[in-house]
Structure 1
Amino acid sequence: MRPRVVCGIAAAVALFATACGSGGGGNGGGSSAAVTVPATAGAAYPVTVADCAGKETTIAKAPTKIVTSNAASLELLLRLGAGDRVIGTGFPPGKGTLPAALAEQGAKVPVLGDKTIPKEKLLGSGADLYVDTFGAMPMMGGGATGPSEAEYAAAGIQHVYLLSTACAGTPKAAKAPRTDLAGIEDDIRRLGAVTGTGARAEELVTGMEKQIGEVRTALAGVPEDKRPSYFVLDFDAGTKQPTAVCGRQVANAVITQAGARNVFADCDADFKPGSWEDVVAKNPDWIQLAVRNRGSEEATRKAFDDAEAFLRSFPATQGLKAVQEGHFVRLGSEVTTIAGVRNADAVRQIAATVHPDLVKNGQ
């Protein structure tokens, strides 16, 4: 039987240290044509997937021992119903970062590395599948690199990627800003096909598309030049120098779908160091206070309060239009800058905040 090809290279992608489908309705930044995985074909094998360079991997049967590189791929597997097959992860989810329904199961997954999984531990994990959110990047410590594809093969581990997050820094990455969630939706479909959970993957994508579609319909009458400008303050990255969330980052798609205009959409990267002079020159209409979940509602609220207090007291920002008008969006960075199902929730919450007369129920 000829392997079923789920997707080729996703061209519009982003990387955050912590894809082909539909559902964006806009320019996806040059992503390749979508290939839908039918719900009835969820357990059809073999399945062929490609990495950022187009190299194909064929999965002959459902994996039974999966290792994930970080909390983003772990969360997707939990949502797909494959969490009982995950035997380890790197960059484990912090307290409070997973949705309540997934937190207990996620906490039981063995941690193979507080950050990147050491090479020897990964190769000796007994995994038959490694789901890689990052793509090629130095492993922690000593400048060592991750396993080669030959080493993965020798250990009996098949290596697949979340293309929406693994490829942003590669030559294949699209230069145009990412404006829809097509790549994330295709990653969900691709992972569903690889793990034999295609029916559940389609349910997740359908839910995302429904939510985003409702927002898009509500904002259809708002012309581009009337959409408010928007700046993401990554407060936890430090305030000495702001981080610009650029056009290749998934957050740009979230902001665009929510009916706003990312002030740094034109920088050709996912993230890059910025300056407060740049932010002042952009003078955004709205500022997102993007903080990490602190593990409790009280602690997270304090983090939002601290971010707002900084902007109101810092000489460079206290005169900004958004600060003067109190136009702050209190929304965690995890759901905005990390690819996943909750990106659709972020679209609705941002839209309900910046377009309250048109979009309701932001929470």
Structure 2
Amino acid sequence: MWRPLSGVVLTAALLTSCGGGDGANGSDDASTERGGKGGSPVSVENCDGEKVAFEAPPSKIVTSNAAGLEILLRLGVGSKVIGTGFPPAKGALPDDLADQAARVPVLGRTIIPKEKLLGSGADAYIETFRPARGAHVGPRPQEFRAAGIQVVQLRSTACAAGQTGPREDLSAVTDDIERLGTLTGASSRAREIVVGMKKTLDTVGERVDSVPEEKRPTYFVFDFDAGTKELTAVCGKQVANAVITLAGARNVFRDCDADYKKTGWEDVVDKNPDWIQLAVRNRGSGAADEKAFDEAESFLKSFPATRGLTAVKKDRLLRIRSERTSTPGVANAEAVEQIARTLYPDKFEGVR
């Protein structure tokens, strides 16, 4: 199921695990690379092939939310981040990354106000989700240019709507990690992270790839925070669809030609998924997360339309935070393994 990774050399020295080995150490791991190149020009491509060029790696970066911030921290370039929106909640990151994230100024608890973003002094803005067409959220392109800020998009999520067909692997996510590595002069660290993710995915693939498509269990992501009356379905173009597919399951909404869409419970009842992910956003503590998971589970078990679903009756409910499957990062590979181990426990006997 895994597709070739761009620019990755599979050497033993790079085979780090996806867990603790991918945490940044608090230092700027890119310093040796930059030392050899000085202020060499760098460029990356955004959605629609738009090229974004810098005369030197940007040194003042603002991230739109925790996804971009976490990738930069894992790359070891946290000292370059001067602000973020949608900051990670307490407990969302490993301790070493959380300590670094706590030092990053929060420019907005949600979307960064336009005035703060334009006045931040940033030379690069990492955008995780592109505003919907026609929705003027935040600065316009000409305002970014006037402020000297260039926008770099995480293509795995910002470009999802323009993708052809469903997303079935994490190549777009690993490409984003490598692109930010190129942008910040941390290419070597990016390759280490990507190879660690690949190692995890290969371990899963060796155990589930042989399961015929028709025998793979069906799977529904219940986005509890998006509402219980009008549901938000995770479609084929979303990163979560790749996570589900690589784990050996079938997203019941994989055929809808979008990243998300509004739907109703009648559609879910008609599809009757074998497994349901209770997807809740980080609440700031393990206890608060568990409370939210309990509330989502209680709803499914008490709501007349859902209490008869196969997944609910058989208690096949996975407690996995939304961010681990729907936003790009190392956690995507970890979620693949978590889901696969839950769905196919016999195939992971003896595997640590």
Quote the offset at 1:122 in angstroms.
Answer: 1.3
Give distance in 2, aligned partners of 1:167 and 1:328. 30
1:281-292 superposed matches below 5 A: 281-292=270-281
**Whole-Å separation in 2 of the counterparts to 1:362 and 1:278:** 37
Quickly say closer, same or farther: Cα 1:319–1:165, change in 2 above 3 A. Answer: same
- How does 1:1-363 map onto structure 2 within 5 Å? 25=2, 35-36=6-7, 43=34, 45-137=40-132, 145-169=137-161, 173-359=162-348
Deviations, residues 17-65 of structure 1 (Å, cap 9, x unaligned): xxxxxxx526xxxxxx964277999645322211212221112212211
**Structure 1: stretches of 5+ with no match in the other structure:** 1-23, 27-32
Report how far residue 206 of structure 1 moved.
0.5
Who is 2:22 aligned against?
A: none
Q: Kindly tell me: are residues 65 and 36 of structure 1, through their superposed partners in 2, closer, same or farther at Cα, counting changes over 3 Å?
A: same
Following the alignment from structure 1 to structure 2, what is the Cα–Cα distance between the partners of residues 294 and 278?
Answer: 29
Question: Cα offset for 1:285?
Answer: 0.6
CA distance in 2, matches of 1:236, 1:148: 29
Q: Is the 8 A contact 1:42 1:192 kept in 2?
A: no
Contact 1:348 1:362 in 2 (8 A): no
Which digits, 9 at most, give the CA deviation of each residue in 1:163-197, with x for residues without a partner?
A: 1111123xxx2231100000000000000010011
Q: Counterpart of 1:147 in structure 2: which amino acid? A: P
* Cα distance change of structure 1 residues 361 and 264 upon mapping to structure 2, 3 Å threshold: farther
* TM, length-normalised to structure 1: 0.84
C-alpha change, 1:294 and 1:150, in structure 2 (3 Å) is: closer
d(CA) in 2 for partners of 1:144 and 1:187? Answer: 25
**Residues 121/362 of structure 1: CA separation in 2 closer, same or farther (3 Å cut):** farther
Higher helix share: 2
1:346 and 1:362 mapped to 2: Cα distance?
Answer: 16
Percent identical across equivalent pairs? Answer: 58
Tell me, yes or no, if the aligned pair for 1:349 and 1:362 is still in contact at 8 Å.
no
State the 1:245 CA deviation: 0.7
TM-score, normalised via structure 2 length: 0.87
**Given the superposition, is the C-alpha separation of residues 60 and 360 from structure 1 closer, same or farther in structure 2, using an over 3 Å criterion?**
farther
Name the CA distance, whole Å, in 1 between partners of 2:48 and 2:216: 36
Unaligned runs of 5+ in 2: 15-29
In structure 1, what residue type is equivalent to 2:270?
A
Aligned to 2:345, the other structure's residue is in SS state coil
Distance 2:111 2:318 in 1: 31
Counterparts of 1:160 and 1:349, CA distance in 2: 31
Query: Number of matched residues?
Result: 328
